[in-house]
Amino acid sequence: MCCCAACFVAAAPWIVDDELWAVVEPLLPVKPAGTPRPAQMDSRLVLQGILFVLVTGIGREDLPQELGFGSGMTRWRLLRDPVAGN
């Protein structure tokens, strides 16, 4: 079994590599200074969690915490309403 990065990404298509992240990151909204909000999770992990849900077809409320993508429902709310965060 191969353990190279290319094979891992092919086996886990929800992984956002550096090249894709360089394109996506500038498109994400920036939280205005002084905006009350829960502690922000790494946006790249949030995106990977969303992609995991879309690729696997699981319900977003069933996103496994063990993967480190955060709570499925909370992450989707933050993406939907990035300013309020609620």
The predicted-structure confidence for 71-86, as pLDDT tens digits, reads as follows: 655 555 656 665 544 4
Of 30 and 70, more confident: 30
The full set of domain ranges for the chain reads 5-80
> What Cα–Cα distance (Å) separates residue 74 from each residue in 37, 38, 58, 78?
12, 10, 16, 6
In this prediction, what percent of the chain has a pLDDT beyond 70?
64
Of 38 and 11, more confident: 11
> What Cα–Cα distance (Å) separates residue 22 from each residue in 36, 41, 82?
27, 18, 20
- Taking the C-alpha atoms of residue 64 and residue 80, their distance in angstroms, rounded to an integer, is 20
- Taking the C-alpha atoms of residue 73 and residue 27, their distance in angstroms, rounded to an integer, is 22
> What Cα–Cα distance (Å) separates residue 36 from each residue in 30, 31, 74?
13, 10, 15
Of 20, 12, 24, 16, residue with least CA distance to 56: 12
Read off the pTM: 0.63
